[in-house]
């Protein structure tokens, strides 16, 4: 099992919270598309794993015309060993899509859409710098459904400093009635280099306190459970059978190939990343666009802990003992403290984070890291 990820680094406007690699220089899009096709063909030579997932993210993939994606799928099938039931996802913005566009994406080969909604409140959308309104978000979901997409995910952001718990609850009530199968809900974090970080530094934006964060997180878990969705990763929920296979493959440590500036790849031993530099990328010299490192045993150990504890599947103790014999006894000692505090649970040989503790999973993970 393996995946291919394409990073489309273009946005029409920039959102205040976003730290993904992106550019508003849309005049560079044509050359980018040429190089991306070239990179896909070239990298396929060394990436011989069967492909189960294909994911186009960004940036804003829905800024690119659908006929480009038709070319992309032709090249994908020509150069890679694609499985018959390959999960093929594209991220779209609500205000970019029309019935014709969605039909064209479906005909090209996509069978899953992820719609960047973030909130159904106009004030939230304006404050975050989103360019769509709430009405367009609801229409986008309805349109994707009526165009025959039966695997639809949306994103929400909570913990918004200017908003309230009541407004977040209203967002969840709206989600309840949407024909979606997957929900990603992220707490706002203010990352360096973003517009929100500059506002924070100038004292115009303050993150919410931990107690409100926890209340909103608990509200999220409770409401989503009532919708019949499973909580399968810290920030991800889905109806049974609709886990994002692509993201799950990252969490399970399977190989993936990243294409486009700012994308990451992993072949089971080495991690490679394309530099976040669109100008360099567009020059098309594929030998100069990436850097790579061979992962050490400690890197693999820490990654296993970090990825495993963020999922409902957890970490296999047997696998830890076999893969990391040098660190295993110390690991057992260190998880003991968290088990006694009911933050971690051992069931059938797997160690998982209790659902109420997912809110503080990052501090547990940090404590278990080998440094």
14 binds ligand SF4 (CB under 6 A): yes
Contacts with ligand SF4, 111-130, as mask; x by CB under 6 A:
-----x--------------
Member of 58, 109, 255, 258 binding ligand SF4 (CB under 6 A): 58
Closest to ligand SF4 by CB, 59 vs 255, is 59
Tell me the residue number closest to ligand SF4, measured at CB.
Answer: 18
Q: What gap in Å lies between CA 354 and CA 129, rounded to an integer?
A: 35
Closest to ligand SF4 by CB, 22 vs 246, is 22
Q: What gap in Å lies between CA 75 and CA 83, rounded to an integer?
A: 15
20 binds ligand SF4 (CB under 6 A): yes
Closest to ligand SF4 by CB, 60 vs 352, is 60
Member of 2, 4, 8, 15 binding ligand SF4 (CB under 6 A): 15
350 binds ligand SF4 (CB under 6 A): no
255 binds ligand SF4 (CB under 6 A): no
Closest to ligand SF4 by CB, 96 vs 223, is 96
* Contact stretch for ligand SF4 (CB under 6 A) within 17-25, 68-76, 106-114, 252-260: 17-25
22 binds ligand SF4 (CB under 6 A): yes
Member of 44, 60, 247, 274 binding ligand SF4 (CB under 6 A): 60
Query: What's the full length of the chain, in residues?
Result: 371
Rounded to a whole number of angstroms, the minimum distance from the CB of residue 134 to ligand SF4 is: 16
Rounded to a whole number of angstroms, the minimum distance from the CB of residue 9 to ligand SF4 is: 8
63 binds ligand SF4 (CB under 6 A): no
Q: Which residue has the tokens 């088990």?
A: 339
Query: 4 Cβ partners below 8 Å, 6+ apart?
Result: 40, 47, 51, 53, 54, 55, 76, 80, 256, 257, 259
- List strands edge to edge, sheet with 2-8: 230-233, 236-238, 182-187, 152-158, 112-118, 82-92, 51-58, 2-8, 256-259, 264-266, 270-274, 290-294
Closest to ligand SF4 by CB, 93 vs 352, is 93
Q: What gap in Å lies between CA 93 and CA 155, rounded to an integer?
A: 11
Closest to ligand SF4 by CB, 27 vs 287, is 27
Closest to ligand SF4 by CB, 60 vs 136, is 60
Query: 2 Cβ partners below 8 Å, 6+ apart?
Result: 47, 49, 50, 51, 52, 53, 249, 254, 255, 256, 257
Q: Where are the beta strands (DSSP E) in the chain?
A: 2-8, 51-58, 82-92, 112-118, 152-158, 182-187, 230-233, 236-238, 256-259, 264-266, 270-274, 290-294, 315-316, 344-347, 350-353
CA–centroid distance for 235 within its chain: 9
Rounded to a whole number of angstroms, the minimum distance from the CB of residue 204 to ligand SF4 is: 19
Residues that bind ligand SF4 (CB under 6 A): 11, 14-15, 18, 20, 22, 58-60, 116
């Amino acid at each position: 099992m393996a995946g291919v990820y394409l990073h489309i680094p273009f946005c029409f406007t920039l959102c205040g919270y976003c730290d993904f690699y992106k550019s508003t220089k849309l005049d560079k899009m044509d050359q980018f598309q040429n190089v991306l096709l070239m990179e896909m063909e070239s990298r396929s030579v060394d990436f011989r794993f069967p492909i189960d997932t294909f994911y186009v993210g960004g940036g804003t993939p829905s800024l690119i015309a659908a006929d480009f994606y038709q070319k992309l799928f032709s090249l994908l099938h020509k150069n890679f060993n694609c499985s018959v039931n390959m999960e093929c996802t594209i991220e779209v913005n609500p205000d970019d899509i029309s019935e014709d566009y969605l039909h064209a994406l479906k005909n090209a080969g996509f069978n899953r859409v992820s719609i960047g909604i973030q909130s159904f409140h106009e004030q939230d959308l304006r404050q975050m710098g989103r360019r769509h309104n709430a009405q367009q978000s609801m229409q986008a979901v309805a349109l994707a459904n009526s165009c025959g997409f039966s695997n639809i995910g949306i994103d929400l952001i909570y913990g918004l400093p200017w908003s309230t718990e009541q407004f977040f609850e209203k967002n969840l009530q709206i989600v309840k009635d949407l024909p979606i199968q997957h929900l990603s809900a992220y707490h706002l974090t203010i990352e360096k280099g973003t517009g929100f970080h500059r506002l924070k530094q100038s004292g115009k934006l303050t993150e919410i306190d931990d107690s409100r964060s926890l209340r909103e997180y608990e509200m999220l878990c409770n409401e989503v459970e009532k919708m019949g969705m499973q909580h399968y990763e810290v920030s991800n929920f889905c109806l049974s059978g609709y886990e994002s296979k692509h993201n799950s493959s990252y969490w399970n440590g399977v190989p993936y190939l990243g294409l486009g500036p700012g994308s990451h790849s992993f072949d089971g031993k080495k991690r490679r990343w394309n530099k976040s530099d669109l100008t360099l990328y567009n020059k098309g010299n594929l030998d100069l666009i990436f850097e790579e490192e061979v992962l050490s045993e400690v890197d693999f150990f820490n990654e296993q802990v970090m990825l495993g504890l963020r999922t409902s599947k957890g970490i296999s103790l047997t696998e830890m003992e076999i893969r990391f014999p040098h660190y295993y006894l110390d690991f057992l000692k260190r998880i003991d403290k968290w088990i006694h505090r009911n933050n971690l649970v051992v069931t059938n040989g797997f160690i998982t984070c209790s659902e109420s503790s997912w809110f503080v999973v990052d501090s547990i993970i940090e404590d278990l890291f080998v440094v």
